[in-house]
Amino acid sequence: MSIEFDEEGFLRNLSDWSETVAEEIAQSEGICLNDSHWEVIMVIREFYQTFQLSPAMRPLVKAVANKLGKDKGKSIYLLKLFPGSPAKLVAKIAGLPKPDNCL
């Protein structure tokens, strides 16, 4: 069974997400996932399950600070792990819905 992605590399069916799929998406973005990446991915997945929203940068930073401590709850830390726009990139790797470009 093959997993389908759209032209931008987002999952067509969110239920296809698995840790292997996450690694595949990350790789296509040039990121090799390690434990530091994974704990952030789990924070954003939990955020989505709790609030049914994909977080923007500030709430993501806040959620990471709450779950993983203040040292990690900084935009610079997230930028290092997920260069460019961390909130979007983590969401993509974590299998959250494609952002509606609203911001």
Partner 1 sequence: MSDKKSILIINQSAPYGSSKARESLDVALTCSIFDMPVSLLFIGDGLFQLIKGQSPELLDMKKHEAMLTALPMYDIEQIFVTEDDLKTNGLTEQDLALSVNVVSRDMISSLIQNHDSVMTF
Partner 2 sequence: MKFSLVVHASPFSEQASSTAYRYAKCLLSQGHEIYRVFYYGDGVMVANSQIAPPQDEANLPKLWTELANEHSLDLVVCIAAAVKRGVLDQNEAKRYEKDAANLADGFELSGLGQLAEAIAISDRVVTFGG
Q: Please, what is the minimum distance in Å from the beta carbon of residue 16 to partner 2?
A: 17
Q: Which residues pair with 10 in a beta bridge?
A: none
Of 55 and 82, which CB lies nearer to partner 1 in the complex structure?
55
Q: How far apart are CA 54 and CA 88, in angstroms?
A: 9
Give the DSSP per-residue string, 4-53.
Answer: PB-TTS-BSSGGG--HHHHHHHHHHTT----HHHHHHHHHHHHHHHHHSS
Q: Please, what is the minimum distance in Å from the beta carbon of residue 41 to partner 2?
A: 24
Residue 7 contact, options partner 1, partner 2, none, Cβ 5-8 Å cut-off depending on partner type: partner 2
52: which 2 tokens?
Answer: 């049914």
Q: Please, what is the minimum distance in Å from the beta carbon of residue 53 to partner 2?
A: 13
Asked whether position 1 contacts partner 2 by CB under 8 A, the answer is no
Asked whether position 103 contacts partner 1 by CB under 8 A, the answer is yes
Active site residue 102: yes
Hey, which residues are catalytic here? 102
